[in-house]
Amino acid sequence: MKTIGIKQSGGSDQLYIMERDKPELGKGNLLIKVAATGVNRTDILTRERETDEPENVRLGVEVAGTVVEAHNDSPYSVGDRVMSLVNGGGYSEYVTIPSDRVMRIPDKLSFVEGAAISEVFATAYQTLFWIGRLEENETVLIHAGASGVGTAAIQLAKQLKNAHVIVTAGSKEKLDFCRNLGADVVINYKEEAFDEVILAETEGRGVNLILDFVGASYWEKNYNSIAMDGRWVLIGTLGGTKIPHFDIFSLMRKRIQLTGTGLTPRSDAYKAALSQELITKTKDLFENGTMKPIVDTTFDFEDVKKAHDYMEANKNTGKIILTL
């Protein structure tokens, strides 16, 4: 089968199409013929990470496609349309996936839309609810609101908890898009000090929860923006990892709960439980159009380099998808 590998660690010019053996159906697994696969920042990090075995690097953490092989006792049948997180290797014609992690694609959604759900909606769901413990009518700050996870988080926070949603983004077009998805307050971080806007908007209280993709460069403003007893979930470090002269007592002063997380390294059992809770809570909302996966651009499988370059240029509003 065709799959995408890397010649060596580095830029997008190291990506190439190679041949690997089609995976065999294991116990408790499904064999999926991939129709679409999502491009995520973790793929770029994997591509860039130093390795002595580039031939073993597996890119791609989410897919949508059709079941082509299943065990007799499986809840899925050949021909079922499914979507799922995978532990690498999603940039391939075929993948095997534990059946308890697989989700059926809602009937009204395409394979491309299905491929835009698994990673970003699961990441947003676990960050908002499992880790961030967002409650009804609380206020949440979502950075990178126009990103894949950001667009998912806006919808989940509004539809499941009626939260007051504040987002940051870097252009009027992205801010307008976030507002149309349900964001209550949109802030252009290039033009305004977001902490000042938030304190004015919340009458000095701050937000109950922060979804932070940025890290070091936003540290002080995030601290200023968070309420007493607030939860702060770090899910990215686009703005760096080193914070000079940081006084850890400041976290105690506000009784802040700071948690770092990532979805890709989680256990199979965790991903299965998260996936099943996610689809249970959202299936009807996807079916009736109340929520929707946001797809920015699709690229042909052969154009994976262009897809990575597009993501690295931060041009996307929503998901980037490879189609096979």
Can you give the three-state secondary structure of 199-210, one letter per residue? HHHCCCCCEEEE
Summarised one tens digit per residue, pLDDT across range 167-196 is 999 999 999 999 999 999 999 999 999 999
State the CB neighbour count (10 A cutoff) for residue 252: 9
Distance between CA 18 and CA 92 in Å, rounded?
A: 10
pLDDT band at 237 (very low <50, low <70, confident <90, very high): confident
Summarised one tens digit per residue, pLDDT across range 199-210 is 999 999 999 999
Distance between CA 73 and CA 76 in Å, rounded?
A: 9
Cα end-to-end span (Å), the chain = 12
Q: What percent of the chain has pLDDT over 90?
A: 90
Summarised one tens digit per residue, pLDDT across range 275-304 is 999 999 999 999 999 999 999 999 999 999
Decide: 170 and 145 in contact? Cβ < 8 Å. Answer: no
For the purposes of burial, counting CB atoms within 10 Å of the CB of 108, is it exposed (0-12), middle (13-18) or buried (19 or more)? exposed
Q: 43: Cβ–Cβ under 8 A, 6 or more apart, which residues?
A: 59, 60, 61, 91, 308
What is the enclosing helix (H) or strand (E) of 123? helix 118-125
Residue 104 identity? R
Q: For residue 13, give both structure tokens.
A: 């010019």
Count of alpha carbons within 13 angstroms of residue 68, beta-carbon side: 15
Domains and CATH numbers, the chain: 2-117+264-323 (3.90.180.10), 121-260 (3.40.50.720)
Higher pLDDT, 264 or 43: 43
Q: For residue 316, give both structure tokens.
A: 């996307």
The strand pairing partners of 260, in sequence order, are 234
The predicted pLDDT at position 164 comes to 98
Nearest C-alpha neighbor of 109 from the set 310, 317, 307, 282: 282
The predicted pLDDT at position 302 comes to 97
Given a cut of 90, is residue 239 above it in pLDDT? no
Out of 4-8, 214-218, 283-287, least confident range: 214-218
Average pLDDT of the residues in 94-100: 96
How far, in Å, are 158, 178, 224, 269 from residue 164 at the CA level?
7, 13, 18, 32
Angle CA(312)–CA(313)–CA(315) in degrees, nearest 5? 115
The predicted pLDDT at position 76 comes to 95
Distance between CA 18 and CA 45 in Å, rounded?
A: 20
